[in-house]
Amino acid sequence: MKDHDQGYSLLRMFQEHPGQFLSGEEISRRLSISRTAVWKQINKLRSHGYEFEALPRLGYRMVDEPDVLDEQLLGAGMKSRSFGKQIKLLDRTVSTQEDARELAEAGAPEGTLVISEEQTGGRGRMGRKFHSPRGKGIWMSLILRPKQPLHLTQQLTLLTGVAVCRAIGKSAGVQTQIKWPNDILYEGKKVCGILLESTAEDGRIRYCVAGIGISVNLKETDFPEELRSVATSVRMAGGNVVNRTELIQTIMQEMEVLYELYNEQGFEPIASAWEALSGTVGREVRVQSGQGDFTGTATGLNKDGALMVRSDAGEMVPVYSGEILF
């Protein structure tokens, strides 16, 4: 049997015996290959993201299979009308923000989606790095071509947060909260970050790229140590492996519904939805912004999408950018 066929047959054996140990001897007999060849094939599968538990006397048990995204499967199950209908799926890239930007410059239509299995230079707000390991998350950028003026793009960040929060609830049954402006948290730990970048000309938006990074199926050990106290994944929160394909499709559907609502009725219904999912409104916060640092209570959003904070001195302050600490 050829090397490739050995690997394939071995994989089939484990898939046919979910959760069961198969001894090296049994595998070797059934595939008519040596015990050394079995061991080599197991290691090969490991290098492709399959995980095995190995116990003396019992043998091997497959505990995790890589979840690989497929462009056709993704497209076929899209529940949205135009968002995510055009997809560019990459195996590895520096940042999907740059790939989406290139496509937008070349005229790609609104709703075009770039997804990568891995990002080597994932970016967050304020120049921070964004941890985007292979096959474990959703690292994607959606092209938008809004008609609103440039100073209102913050509203789209908030809209994206609502869409992702709802989709995680629907697809994974995990109830998350939004921390102003763009973090999605589960029990205070970050599961998703959103980065909305706009390109404008003469004060008008040419296009926006809505970057969404969700830690979907990461285990604690998949996070670098310095992130473990502040980050979690949807899988860790809900206890189950999450189907990334379905989650992406649900996000596209939720995004499209909210975006249409926004174009028809403006920001008000989006702001109400955001406030209902917010873990920020009503809380004592410390604001770090260009306007300086101060403490107060977050009361809600203003019509632009700025966070309104009643300072301890009793003044209502709109916060347009910066960091909120609890």
The residue ranges that bind ligand BTN (CB under 6 A) are 95-97, 119, 122-125, 128, 130, 132, 139-141, 193-195, 211-213
Shortest Cβ distance from residue 99 to ligand BTN (Å)?
9
The CB-nearest residue to ligand BTN is 193
Which runs of E-coded beta strand occur in 38-146?
51-55, 59-64, 87-90, 113-116, 138-144
Scanning the structure block, which residue is given the tokens 């969700």? 214
Shortest Cβ distance from residue 213 to ligand BTN (Å)?
3
Residue 124, annotated as binding a ligand: yes
Sheet of strand 113-116, all strands in order from the earlier edge strand to the far edge: 87-90, 113-116, 138-144, 204-214, 189-201, 183-186, 177-179
Shortest Cβ distance from residue 138 to ligand BTN (Å)?
8
Residue 125, annotated as binding a ligand: yes
Are 141 and 114 a contacting pair, CB within 8 Å?
yes
Q: What letters, b where the CB count within 10 A reaches 16 and e where it falls short, cover 212-223?
A: bbbbbbbeeebb
Shortest Cβ distance from residue 93 to ligand BTN (Å)?
9
Residue 288, annotated as binding a ligand: no
How crowded is residue 55: how many other Cβ atoms within 10 Å of its Cβ? Answer: 10
Return the number of the residue (42 or 100) whose C-beta is nearest ligand BTN: 100
Question: If DSSP states are collapsed to H, E and C, what string results for 254-287?
Answer: HHHHHHHHHHHHCCHHHHHHHHHHECCCCCEEEE
Shortest Cβ distance from residue 128 to ligand BTN (Å)?
6
Are 45 and 10 a contacting pair, CB within 8 Å?
yes
Shortest Cβ distance from residue 197 to ligand BTN (Å)?
9
Residue 249, annotated as binding a ligand: no
Return the number of the residue (128 or 303) whose C-beta is nearest ligand BTN: 128
Are 208 and 148 a contacting pair, CB within 8 Å?
no
Are 271 and 301 a contacting pair, CB within 8 Å?
yes
Return the number of the residue (127 or 239) whose C-beta is nearest ligand BTN: 127
Return the number of the residue (41 or 245) whose C-beta is nearest ligand BTN: 245
Residue 44, annotated as binding a ligand: no
Return the number of the residue (132 or 176) whose C-beta is nearest ligand BTN: 132
Return the number of the residue (6 or 96) whose C-beta is nearest ligand BTN: 96
Are 178 and 280 a contacting pair, CB within 8 Å?
yes
Cite the annotated binding site by residue number: 119, 123-125, 190
Cite the annotated binding site for biotin by residue number: 119, 123-125, 190
